[in-house]
Amino acid sequence: MRKNSGQLRLVASRTSEHQTARNAHGSWLPLSTIDLFCGAGGITEGFRQAGYQCLYANDCMPEAVETFLLNHPEAWAEAEEIENVDPAQVRKELGLKKGALDVLVGGPPCQGFSINAPERFLRDQRNKLFKDYVRFLEEFEPKAFLFENVPGLLSLADGKVFRQILQEFEGHGYEVTAKILFAAHYGVPQERWRLILIGSRSSAIFPPGPTHYATGRANFRSGATMTFQLRAADKDRLLPAVTVGEALGDLPRLEIGEGAETVGYTVPPHSDYARKMRNPAGVTYNHFGAKLSKQNIERMQYVKPGGSWRDIPFALLPKGMQRARKSDHTKRYGRLRNDGLAGTVMTKCDPHWGAVFLPDQERSLTVREAARLQSFPDGYRFVGPRVSQYEQVGNAVPVLMARAIALETREHFEELGCIPRRSVPEAAHG
């Protein structure tokens, strides 16, 4: 998450609930996590759906922490600069012994990754957020950890920075596996790539294999070696990719300026994905058709599904776009396709940033529609100004991808005999 320049606010602790919480389906304690740089809680929601409980979460963005706590009220979550947090004090408050925590999760946004002297990476002050992650790792000594980041991390300083990170984790006694995962491989209706490192104090935990057949353009270093390469024959054994139409088609249709923070459904769920996302309470949240400028409304009329700025008459393009080459791969001013995947959900719902126009409605994505593309269930509510809500959604790790990692980690613990084997619900609704 990006740093917030405003005053940070502490969100109240619920440590007493940590000690007594039980799984709704039995008397056993769920597996435990701590979520650093938690944002709105995409990773924690995915882990929750796999039978984990977050004990503590931290982020420097107050609205994101408010969203996190609203949806995970059993957690102790605080909006605080992590450098000001003492991991030893957190562990004391939680009443955990070293090694008792099951999984530490998070993705520190390391600003100094592109330094010219990678051998000084860990001493560089700009990388203090990574070092803060390591501080928690050292203090809690969790059984496993999840570290996620952008694939571009692999190419910095010709791979030396990535190797430094691996050495740091391995030096703390963890066996580490690394993979670049494609969100669409796990039922997320979106083209999104994330670098995933999973560490274990016992035998290696391997990243989960694809459950859905989808292809994407891996235009980054190690795209051919660190991603799952699917073949045409894999279509027969995997589920089909979830499309934009399957993800969004049942949500209430809106005109620009229509909608509300709470809306009821108007039609039954039309797809398996929609059924899984639906809130049993019969309502969803954050579904408001944002206003567009007069110029963007006019530009939108020319863009067909799957199209982009290339469809817009030259005279209507912004001056900067008038200088763009037709061969440019950008999806700016793009319109989504019902039969395809969405592009990476951005932190701004701005046509100049990417494809945000609906396939069959004359407007841009609502916060709820963006959240559906990130596989957040409909009962997951985002708070704060609408600009902040879009940012929270765009910064999140897709829930179903996090869930797949959580299930793989859980199976690892079961095989080691750390926990009994138990079935996990297909997916948890909002």
Q: What is the pLDDT at residue 380?
A: 98
pLDDT band at residue 1 under the 50/70/90 scheme:
very low
- Indicate which residue of 54, 110, 349, 418 is catalytic: 110
**Average pLDDT of the chain, as a whole number:** 89
Q: Which residues contact 7 (CB under 8 A, 6 or more apart)?
A: none
103 φ/ψ angles, rounded to the nearest 5 degrees: -140, 130
Residue found by looking up tokens 């297909």 in the block: 426
Mean pLDDT is lowest, of 23-27, 170-174, 285-289, 410-414, for 23-27
Amino acid identity for residue 327 in this structure = S
Q: What is the pLDDT at residue 159?
A: 85
Of 237, 192, 249, whose CA–CA distance to 401 is shortest? Answer: 192
Of 357, 365, 370, 247, whose CA–CA distance to 305 is shortest? Answer: 357
How far is residue 39 from each of residues 8, 62, 191, 223, measured CA to CA in Å?
14, 9, 20, 27
For the segment 319-325, the average pLDDT, to the nearest whole number, is 88
Please tell me the total number of residues recorded for the chain in this structure. Answer: 430
The three-state secondary structure class of 59 is strand
110 is known as an active-site residue: yes
Would you identify the CATH topology of the domain 292-365? DNA Methylase; Chain A, domain 2 (3.90.120)
For the stretch 132-147, pLDDT in tens is 999 999 999 999 999 9
For the segment 247-265, the average pLDDT, to the nearest whole number, is 98
Q: Which pTM does this prediction carry?
A: 0.90
The three-state secondary structure class of 247 is helix
Q: Work out the angle between the directed axes of helices 399-415 and 42-49 (0-180°, nearest 10).
A: 50
Q: Let me know: does 181 contact 146? Beta carbons within 8 Å.
A: no
User: Hey, where are the domains in the chain?
Assistant: 15-236+397-415, 292-365
For the stretch 140-193, pLDDT in tens is 999 999 999 989 888 877 888 889 899 999 999 999 999 999 999 999 999 999
Q: What is the pLDDT at residue 97?
A: 97
Spatial separation of the C-alpha atoms in residues 305 and 313, rounded to whole Å = 16
Q: Is 265 exposed, middle or buried (0-12, 13-18, 19+ CB in 10 A)?
A: middle
Q: What is the pLDDT at residue 7?
A: 35
- Read off the tokens for 240: 């089909």
For the segment 115-143, the average pLDDT, to the nearest whole number, is 78
Q: Nearest-5° angle of CA 308, CA 309, CA 314?
A: 145
For the segment 322-330, the average pLDDT, to the nearest whole number, is 81
Q: What is the pLDDT at residue 429?
A: 58
Domain 15-236+397-415 bears CATH identifier 3.40.50.150: yes
In the beta sheet, which residues pair with residue 288? 259
Mean pLDDT is lowest, of 106-110, 370-374, 408-412, for 106-110
Q: What is the largest CA-CA distance in the chain?
A: 66
Report which of residues 367 and 27 the model is more confident about.
367
Q: Let me know: does 144 contact 76? Beta carbons within 8 Å.
A: no
**E strand map for 280-345:** 283-288, 334-335
Q: What is the residue-wise DSSP string for 58-97?
A: EES-HHHHHHHHHH-TTSEEEES-GGG--HHHHHHHHTPP
pLDDT band at residue 333 under the 50/70/90 scheme:
very high
